[in-house]
Chains A and B, each alone.
Chain A
Amino acid sequence: MKCVIGGGHLRVFGRAIHAIARISDEFWFDPVEKGLALRSVNSSRSACAYIFFSSMFFQHYCWTAGSKSCQREKQLPLPCKLIIKSVLPVFRCVNMLERNVEKCNIYTNINDRHITFQLICKHGIVKTHNLTFQECDPLQAVFAKHMCPNVLKLQSRLLTDIMIHFPMSQEEVTLAVTPMKVCFKSYTEEDTDFSKAMHTEIQLNPDEFDYFQVGVDSEVTFCLKELRGLLAFSEATSTPVSIHFDRSGKPIAFSIEDMVLEASFILATLSDIENETASEQPPRFSQGQDSKSEKTSVDRDSNSEAIASRKPQWNGNSQNTELVAPRSPLAKQEIKIIPKISNKDTTGTEGTTITETDDYTMLEARPTHFDYHKSKLLHTGIGFCTWCITCVVSYLYKYCIFQFHSLFFGAVSFKEKDAINHILHSLATASDTEEDSVNMQRSQVL
């Protein structure tokens, strides 16, 4: 992979790196034919970022490993996993970059596992950063934005103006919408001392938005940290921000898009007892003995299309392979590739995330069931998830499938057959073959 970023675009690229840094300690450089994607997923799998720079963004862009002969051999480019801490210094002072740097060359050297960032600066100074990377396929979330009943589009400036009312210490905010109004409010965990915490609420009129579509009244709570990063980035590109969301417990996506780039930050939302409705929890049954889990599993409809799974099922490697599947044909046979490279990886791929969520875990394998009227009627009132659960459960299983494929050619290739069986055994759509996996994925998205 080799690309050249011109001075003017460097600020945008730098801001993108800073925004990605809000998500996790690591991120992926994922070159594809149409451009370069930056991806990141945090360790608890509650936030995921995707920033895509089309080849038009660059002065020069070549996605394959090197020469044309490589292209003939269909050698695929390497996605590389980088430590954000090592890349940030390259783009440390974003405003200085614009002034001092004429262009930036980025290229990978597969032989010695290095990625080079070369900044051609004023006065003929050349800064060369050689960083080591891990060759490892990225995790990515597939989120069916177009299925969201609620869509807001607003100028990033307006969103920034809203967020300044919350102190920097505010970790989570709640977005509440009805067709008549939009409200952002501070979220405080139940166990925090109410006598200390100030509660802030901002009410907005729908006509402040560039686009306003509320299909269902909802209240979603999400983390501010990641959003603040996206806001700084969107201000550099001066593009409006679109917000796609559903009910509580289902992910919210903040995205921006212009001619040469697109970005989406998908954040898990908190689901709570009041807002949890039956349609969000398609009938499920518990396989555990835990009382909480029992309580949460609604067995009035023993439809076996959905499962509720519990911690015993989500340990170890089965977890890994369920979450991720290698894309590269070369890696197809290497079942153990994921655990191997994830030794130093985020805890999620190690399965600990799920363990964290343990008893509270409620999983759904049949995620799209958008009958909201029915959902109100079927309100069970006992769905309960903690933050962690939401992160994992709703994120992974309701809407998102971690896979190794690019968004554009959304095929899933589940690798470890046993694991797949293990996890999906009660799913009507569960299958051993890749083909069926693809279908399954589609059926979820559509």
Chain B
Amino acid sequence: MPLSTQPPASGERYVLTASLDNARHLSSLLRAVHFQDHATCFATANGIKVTVEDAKCLQANAFIQAEIFQEFAVQEESVMFRINLAVLLDCLTIFGSSSLPGTSTALRMCYRGYGYPLMLFLEEGGVVTVCKINTQEPEELLDFDFCSTNVVNKIILQSEGLREAFAELDMTSEVLQITMSPNKPYFRLSTFGNAGSAHLDYPRDSDLMEAFHCNQTQTNRYKISLLKPSTKALALSCKVSIRTDTRGFLSLQYMIRNEDGQICFVEYYCCPDEDVTEADL
């Protein structure tokens, strides 16, 4: 049952069809936002945005632009559905998540519209897998209203510099406190755990610092449990942009380069922890 014979018979109309030579390009990006089982997919002619949210305080978006796909067609202005991300990931990686060099899983993805399942056709080395994943009613998404004009401080770091820091975060601390300042300590991550406090300081002239635009000293706390999932995106990324706006909202943008050198973005928005009084800071 080769790929060419099985997929959409010409008579059937699909609102979304996409094909990809290497399904890993998609699965690795989806894994970067996989901290909840449900995701909302939103497709336009530009590509697909996959959104995952938690506790009305955190939103993660993976952007897979149309150029990543070898074939990408959306018949309507936009197509939206909700899907179980864990199931989708298991299907996309059915032939293994770390394929040997030289082998890759080809993917064809079709969606007929509201109420229909998402169809996946995967092929590797002549073996074909057909998956039918039921879709659900999309839910309304949060609007963080994070706009670049309100950004107070912005830092671009090579991800390498943050990876170890996030891996070692003291999870007994409820919050991660981020200080960004034009003066010392410039960029500081702090935790306050059972054992004591820990601070991680990055000087502005560090060779990991790609850009440093801090206009005023801002100290904000974020629930560490909310930020921990972003570690997945951090692990894949080469650079990360850390921005805060006037309200203390945090935006983390991860630049992810796939094996073919194509660049995609994953973005996390997080609300500051509201229980903080000025005295705490």
Contacts and interface: CB of A to CB of B under 8 A. Distances in A.
Contacts of B262: none
Contacts of B161: 123, 125
B206 interface: yes
Interface in A102-152: 114, 123-132
B199 A127 contact: yes
Contacts of A123: 161, 202, 206-208
Most buried by B among A125, A127, A128, A130: A125
A285 B47 CA distance: 88
B231 to A, nearest CB: 15
A203 interface: no
B195 interface: yes
Interface stretch (A82-90, A187-195, A276-284, A337-345): A82-90
B95 to A, nearest CB: 32
Nearest to B187: A125
B260 interface: no
B201 A128 contact: yes
Given A89-B170, A100-B164, A127 B200 contact: yes
B197 interface: yes
Interface in B186-239: 193-203, 205-208
B196 A131 contact: yes
B165 to A, nearest CB: 8
A148 to B, nearest CB: 38
Interface residues of B, number: 19
B201 A83 contact: no
Contacts of B197: 129-130
A142 B196 CA distance: 33
A226 B163 CA distance: 32
Interface string B165-199: 00010100000000000000000000001111111
Nearest to A118: B199
Contacts of A126: 199-201, 203
Contact of B195 (A83, A96, A100, A125): A83
Contact of B201 (A87, A89, A125): A125
A128 B197 CA distance: 8
A124 B168 contact: no
Contacts of A130: 196-199
A284 B196 CA distance: 50
Most buried by B among A87, A114, A124, A132: A124
B200 A125 contact: yes
A60 interface: no
A262 B205 CA distance: 41
Interface in A180-218: none
B164 A96 contact: yes
Given A124-B206, A125-B201, A86 B195 contact: yes
Contacts of A86: 193-196
A292 interface: no
B203 A132 contact: no
Nearest to A90: B198
A100 B168 CA distance: 14
Contacts of B199: 126-128, 130
Contacts of A332: none
Contacts of B170: 89
A114 B196 contact: yes
A442 interface: no
A87 B201 CA distance: 19
Nearest to B190: A128
A124 B164 contact: no
A92 interface: yes
Contacts of A83: 195
A124 B205 contact: yes
A100 B194 CA distance: 26
A125 B195 CA distance: 22
B195 A124 contact: no
B198 A127 contact: yes
A101 to B, nearest CB: 11
Contacts of A85: 195
Contact of A128 (B198, B203, B207, B208): B198
19 contacts: A85-B195, A86-B196, A87-B195, A100-B164, A123-B206, A124-B202, A124-B206, A125-B201, A126-B199, A126-B200, A126-B203, A127-B198, A127-B199, A128-B198, A129-B196, A129-B198, A130-B196, A130-B198, A130-B199
**8 A-B pairs with the lowest CB-CB distances in the bound complex, closest first:** A86-B195, A131-B196, A124-B203, A124-B206, A126-B201, A128-B199, A130-B196, A123-B208
